Structure 1
Amino acid sequence: MKTIITVLVMVLALPIGAQEFQGKAIYQSKTSIDIKIENGSISEDQKEQIMESMKKSMEKTYELTFDRASSLYREEERLGTPGASQGGVFTMISGSSQGEYYKDVQSKTYVHQTDMFGKPFLIKDSLRTWEWKLSSETKKIGNYTCYKATAIRKPNNIFSNKEKNESEQDSVPQEQDSTQGRSLLSKIEKPEDRIITVWYTPEIPISQGPGPYWGLPGLILEVNTGRTAILCNKLILNPEKKEVVEEPSKGKRVTQAEYDEIMAKKMEEMEKRWKANSNRKGGNTFSIKIQG
């Protein structure tokens, strides 16, 4: 796909390695999904409205503000779109970063400010170490020569823990219900190992990128996870008005492991409510099946 990237260089005389170097990149993120609405007594018009709303919510615009050592990645606010209260399962389905994602590549730490079902959390932990395989393959993104790199991304621990718990319960006799043994999470595609393909430019020699991506000898301008594509379409270097790249500070402070554990428990609670609701309605429930 041919892409035009707008480049604005406000202070040409300032070398890129200068201490006060700063920039901003705008990224478009789009997640491709297959949505199927099952077992519901809703009209076709209602189904179409739900599907259209969900598909639109998978298209987002993000901004990455960065300096030599740190960056802040956050979604641009839009009127009439779902807010941070979605959180939780929706974020895992879309594969996008929700809230604010701060990275410090010198200390190799990140802070992710996010919501889980309306409750703010502040996840602080060590940055993921990406085992990038560098390629000599190049392509142009705007005026920049970019190089290809790939890495493997492992599934989220939330699903791994959930599958382990289900396996341990297999030997325990379960009371039959109208869900016929199906769980709420069976409606959501379980993530598998994914090949992450990125394109970075050494012409902007900072080890930054959108969301959790970093660790290359240049700014990452494009990311493809197979289901989600993130592409930079505007880049501003050394703007006259500087922005301080600040670490988020609002929310309950937890590690990533602690957050995953809380999320797993919330998902179990959701599943119990889903099964109870299904039993009350004799199995005639409204459900949405999402596949990548």
Structure 2
Amino acid sequence: MKQFYSFILIFTFFAGFSQEKQIGEVLYEVNMMMPEDTNQGTSSAETRNKVRMLMKTSRPERFKLIFNENESRYEIIKRMNSDIDPTINLSRILGGETKVFYQNVKADIQYYNENFSGEDWSVFYENYNYKLTKEKKTVLGFLCYKATFGKGRYAWYTPEIPVNFGPGKYNGLPGLVLEAMHKGLLITAKKINLDSNNIQLEVPIVGKKISEEDYIDLKSKNADF
């Protein structure tokens, strides 16, 4: 009998989400965290010290994810020029300040838009190779499970919000990603709004199509030295 009632509760939640909460918005905070291996690598001690200093002086930055049952869009929350600190902020740069991420699970596409060398590019990328674990914790009142994709790289997702989306490239998991860590960049959900009456999802215009591998190679060849 208990299993029957549990099934009813789960069915009711999923039905309610699909029928009433067709669109939602998540506010994320992006922070640079000091990785444990900053003293390692092939770079010089001077370069490592500069990186550590930039990490220490980086400040939190805000991004937002808008999603419905099929699509998602993730980007930085724009601020007035007078509110932007001109100093280098790794949280903003590495968080993807110049990119707009878009995913459509029904059409099976995902890309981010970015302007480079005077052209608008749509960069198509692959999901991380996640390993699901049984480790769990609560984020904003939602039960989350941990998925890893390398040393010190992980994402916490909640099946209680059954969409395959997350901040930036952290998607493709069986639930909304509410926290992620990758190369010292910590992304944490701070607020979730499931009021579809006040949210709109705009599909970004597709630019010049390119794979992420080719795009990285293109930027490397055209980098200023």
Same fold (TM over 0.5): yes
Q: What is the aligned residue count?
A: 196
Partner of residue 128, structure 2? 130
| Greater RCO structure (CA 8 Å; 6+ sep) | 1
Following TM superposition, by how much is the alpha carbon of 1:120 offset from its aligned partner in structure 2, in angstroms? 4.2
From 63, 84, 87, the counterpart of 1:81? 84
Change (3 A) 1:195 1:128: farther
Following TM superposition, by how much is the alpha carbon of 1:122 offset from its aligned partner in structure 2, in angstroms? 2.2
Following TM superposition, by how much is the alpha carbon of 1:60 offset from its aligned partner in structure 2, in angstroms? 1.5
1:121 and 1:92 map into 2 onto residues whose CA distance is: 23
| Amino acid across the alignment from 1:264 | S
2:147 and 2:214 map into 1 onto residues whose CA distance is: 31
1:223-260 CA-partner distances (Å, limit 9, x unpaired): 011400000000001332241x3331164443324422
Partner of residue 227, structure 1? 184
Following TM superposition, by how much is the alpha carbon of 1:130 offset from its aligned partner in structure 2, in angstroms? 2.8
Change (3 A) 1:20 1:142: closer
1:258 and 1:136 map into 2 onto residues whose CA distance is: 36
1:232 and 1:123 map into 2 onto residues whose CA distance is: 26
2:26 and 2:156 map into 1 onto residues whose CA distance is: 14
1:138 and 1:231 map into 2 onto residues whose CA distance is: 15
Partner of residue 278, structure 1? none
Change (3 A) 1:113 1:54: farther
1:73-108 CA-partner distances (Å, limit 9, x unpaired): 00001233279xx9xxx9899532232110112333
Q: Are positions 1:121 and 2:91 aligned together?
A: no
Following TM superposition, by how much is the alpha carbon of 1:116 offset from its aligned partner in structure 2, in angstroms? 2.8
Change (3 A) 1:95 1:52: closer
Q: Are positions 1:55 and 2:57 aligned together?
A: yes
TM-score w.r.t. structure 1 length? 0.57
SS at match of 1:259: helix
SS at match of 1:17: helix
Partner of residue 186, structure 1? none
Structure of larger gyration radius: 1
Q: Is the 8 A contact 1:120 1:250 kept in 2?
A: no
Change (3 A) 1:206 1:32: same
Q: Structure 1: which 5+ runs fail to align?
A: 1-11, 40-46, 153-193, 272-292
| Amino acid across the alignment from 1:55 | T
Change (3 A) 1:203 1:261: same
Following TM superposition, by how much is the alpha carbon of 1:24 offset from its aligned partner in structure 2, in angstroms? 0.2
2:20 and 2:127 map into 1 onto residues whose CA distance is: 25
Taking only aligned residues, the RMSD between alpha carbons, in angstroms, comes to 3.5
Q: Is the 8 A contact 1:122 1:253 kept in 2?
A: yes
SS at match of 1:16: helix
| Amino acid across the alignment from 1:121 | D
| Amino acid across the alignment from 1:77 | K
Change (3 A) 1:73 1:115: same
| Amino acid across the alignment from 1:72 | R
2:180 and 2:192 map into 1 onto residues whose CA distance is: 16
Partner of residue 141, structure 1? 139
SS at match of 1:71: strand
Q: Are positions 1:205 and 2:162 aligned together?
A: yes
2:85 and 2:105 map into 1 onto residues whose CA distance is: 31
1:92 and 1:266 map into 2 onto residues whose CA distance is: 24
1:19 and 1:67 map into 2 onto residues whose CA distance is: 11
1:82 and 1:214 map into 2 onto residues whose CA distance is: 30
1:93 and 1:73 map into 2 onto residues whose CA distance is: 14
Q: Is the 8 A contact 2:61 2:91 kept in 1?
A: no
TM-score w.r.t. structure 2 length? 0.73
